[in-house]
Copies of this chain bind each other. A is one copy, B any other.
C-alpha cells in the first residue's frame, strides 16, 4: 500500500464550551494547518467526522459549510458518520482518499457540539444509535449495557468494585495534567466507588462526560511530505482496521468481549505487519471504565480477564511499558463524540513526535494505536501509527 502520513494536528479544549460547532472546528483545523505548514496550500478533500450536527446544532451539510469557512473551496468535502466513532471513520476515509490516489492533501476534522441542547434532548438524540427493536424500547441505555458488561466481567473474572475504580482514578490522574482535558482533577478509589449509581454497578465516575470540542489532522501522500519538507515530523499510518458486530448486544457471542474490536485489530495488525506487543502507546475507548479493560484484552494488549493488572502493576501508566490513555481518555479528556477519534489520533501523533505535555509524554515511543467505538460495540476502528 502507498505510504500515507499525518503531518499536522490540532485540538480545542474539551468541555462545556461557549463556541458553536463551526468555531470549534475552525479552531482545531487552523491549528492543524499551522502545524503542517499548509495554510497556503490547496487541499484536495476535507473529511468531517460528526455524529449529529443537524440535531445538536441545527447546522446541516456541515462539510461544505466548513470548506467555505476554512477558505478551502473548491476541495471536495464529505461528512462521515458512524455514531461516536465518526472521527475515526473520517480518518479512515481520509486515509483511503490519499491511499487511493484521489487526493494528495486531506484535512480531517472531528467535531461535536453537544451542550447546545438540554441533557435530556442529547440523550434522546444519542439513543437513536442503539437498537430500537431490541434495546431502546425496553429502556436500555448505553450505561445500562455497560453495567451488564461490568457485572458479567466481575462475575467471570472476580474483578471487584474497588479494582474497577482504579480505571477512572488513572484517567483522572492523567487528565489532571492535560491542559485540554474536560476534567483536570484527580479522584480517589473511594470517590469513584461511592459516587452516585448510574446503572449498577457503574457510578457517575465510571462514565465519560458529554462534551463539546473539535480535533483535526492533516493527511498527506509521500510526495506531498517531500514537497513540504516535512519528513521529520510526518507520522506514518501503518494499519487501519474497521469491524462491526450485531446491532443489538443480546445477539452477540459475548458480553465481555467485542468481536468487532478483535476483527478490526486483526485487520490493522496484519496490514502493519506487527504484533500488539510492538505498541508503545495507545489511546482507547473508555466511555465507561469497564470498557478500557475489555478493549485492552480484545486488542491483545492484555490477557483475558487480566487487564486490571496493567494498572495495578503500573504497566499502563504513563511511565509503564504500555501506557494506555495518557491523555485521560474519554473519561477525563472528555467525549465530544465526533471529535474523539481525531483527538486520539492527535494525542498519539504528538506522543510519537515527543511533543506531549512533559509529565504525560511517554518515553520515546515508536508505534502508537488508537481504538474507538461507535454505538455500544456496533462498530470499532483501530489505527496504527509509526514514527518511522
Contacts and interface: CB of A to CB of B under 8 A. Distances in A.
A300 interface: no
A280 to B, nearest CB: 24
Given A59-B132, A244-B67, A81 B82 contact: no
B132 A64 contact: no
Contact of A246 (B2, B52, B73, B99): B73
B374 A128 contact: no
A98 B101 CA distance: 11
Interface string A72-88: 11111111111100000
Given A60-B129, A96-B96, A74 B374 contact: no
Given A82-B61, A375-B64, A73 B245 contact: yes
Contact of A61 (B54, B79, B129, B259): B129
Given A60-B128, A65-B247, A379-B63, A240 B102 contact: yes
B132 A77 contact: no
A61 B128 contact: yes
Interface in A39-73: 45, 52, 54-55, 58-61, 63-65, 67-69, 72-73
Interface in A102-136: 102, 125-132
B82 A64 contact: yes
A96 B90 CA distance: 13
A220 to B, nearest CB: 14
Nearest to A247: B68
A125 B54 contact: yes
A100 interface: yes
A167 to B, nearest CB: 26
A78 B76 contact: no
A309 B64 CA distance: 33
A64 B100 contact: no
A378 interface: yes
A129 B68 CA distance: 13
Contact of A79 (B1, B80, B131): B80
A312 B83 CA distance: 49
B378 A244 contact: no
Contacts of A54: 52, 54-55, 125, 128
Interface in A353-379: 374-375, 378-379
Given A54-B52, A99-B100, A100-B1, A76 B264 contact: yes
A183 to B, nearest CB: 27
A97 interface: yes
Nearest to A259: B74
A80 B94 CA distance: 12
* Closest 8 pairs (CB-CB, A-B): A76-B242, A60-B128, A99-B100, A61-B129, A96-B96, A64-B378, A68-B247, A60-B129
Given A54-B54, A99-B101, 16 more contacts: A58-B132, A60-B126, A60-B127, A60-B129, A61-B81, A61-B375, A61-B378, A63-B379, A64-B247, A64-B375, A65-B131, A68-B247, A73-B244, A76-B379, A93-B93, A93-B96
26 contacts: A54-B54, A58-B132, A59-B132, A60-B83, A60-B127, A61-B375, A64-B247, A64-B375, A64-B379, A67-B244, A68-B244, A68-B247, A73-B244, A73-B245, A74-B244, A74-B260, A74-B263, A76-B241, A76-B379, A78-B89, A78-B92, A96-B99, A98-B100, A99-B99, A99-B100, A100-B100
Interface of A: 1-2, 45, 52, 54-55, 58-61, 63-65, 67-69, 72-83, 89, 92-93, 95-102, 125-132, 240-248, 251, 259-260, 263-264, 374-375, 378-379, 381
